[in-house]
Amino acid sequence: RFRVASITKTFVATVLLQLEDEGKLSLDDTVEKWLPGVVRGNGHDGRKITVRQLLNHTSGIYNYTDDPAFARKYLHEGFLKHRYDTVPPAYHIKVAMAHPPNFEPGKSFRYSNTGYVLAGLIIEKASGTSYEQQVRERIINPLKLRATHNPGNTHHMPQPSSRAYSKLTPDPTATKVHDVTVMNGSQGWADGDIISSAADLNRFYKALIRGELLSPKQLTAMKTTGPEGYGLGLFKTETTCGTTLWGHSGGAAGSLSDALTTEDGSRQLAFNANGDYDVTPASFQRVVEAEFCGTEPGTPPKATTDAGADAHVLRTGRG
């Protein structure tokens, strides 16, 4: 098992698309409709932001993990002291609202973990139950993902698991390495709390892309991408040999992951690096190229549209 971090976002988007298909909400609803008064301050206005814009990162809402104080306390040097802290969704949102938005809603793309915290709260309002219960009942149990769960407000890491290692600093000259396996799951919540395995992630993405979880209309909506190659909780990327892949990457302290599937669902790849240093987007892409193109591991790959997700992970400590 390992922390899949932002791969969680595909699970969240899938639940919201299912709720829309059932008529319980619309992705074109405003955030204000479901969370009155929550997205306000410093230019943020939930009346102008839709649920869809949360999912495709076009809301402009400030990404709370970019906040320097939050990063120091929970991602970098303060991690060991605060790893057991409970961090409720309201705190993530408060941090984000203390900053101005990155742009007007719908005008650009910028990855925002805050958007998925809000998406988790909307799931709870629309369903009447917890975000965790919705993921469990709609995805984990039907697909029999026995190694997958939401840790909630606990620091438990089920076994067997790898250890996770980090230098807990963006300083490339740092040498001390820390075991960061244990942390409170609430610190990522709906933007990145899920614990899973490579086998379970392969099963999930295979079922998703083959239409076992979403209707054709909803799957088409999920796969409708903007210039950055991002749909609704799902990245689209092309290998150097022309294979189209769908999936997501993720990064938590000491844990970098990628999960991908071919367009027809015939082949999947999921893998994890249990250290968040000395790893680059290019090194991850070499694994992808080797799997789907048969490229020799030492062959430098061309850049792909998915590199931005891994770059975000390396920059912020969580993505």
Which of 6, 166, 197, 249 is labelled catalytic?
6
**CB neighbours of residue 161 within 10 Å:** 15
* φ, ψ dihedrals at 261, nearest 5°: -140, 150
Burial 91-115 (b: 16+ CB within 10 A, else e): bbbebbbebebbeebeeebbbbbbb
**CB neighbours of residue 205 within 10 Å:** 25
Measured over all CA atoms, what is the biggest interatomic distance in the chain, rounded to whole angstroms? 53
For 108, the token pair is 């650009």
Question: Is 6 noted as a catalytic residue in this protein?
Answer: yes
Q: Is 26 helix (H, G, I), strand (E, B) or coil?
A: coil
Q: Are 268 and 204 spatial neighbours (Cβ–Cβ below 8 Å)?
A: no
What is the C-alpha separation between 67 and 83, in angstroms, rounded?
Answer: 17
Report which of 221, 242, 241, 216 is spatially closest to residue 232, judged by C-alpha positions. 221
Strands (E) across 84-204 are located at 165-166, 178-179, 195-196
DSSP labels for 166-181?
A: E--SS-TT----EE--
Q: Are 39 and 97 spatial neighbours (Cβ–Cβ below 8 Å)?
A: yes
Q: Are 48 and 135 spatial neighbours (Cβ–Cβ below 8 Å)?
A: no
Burial 64-78 (b: 16+ CB within 10 A, else e): bbbbeebbebbbbeb
Residue with tokens 């990457």: 249
- State the catalytic residues: 6
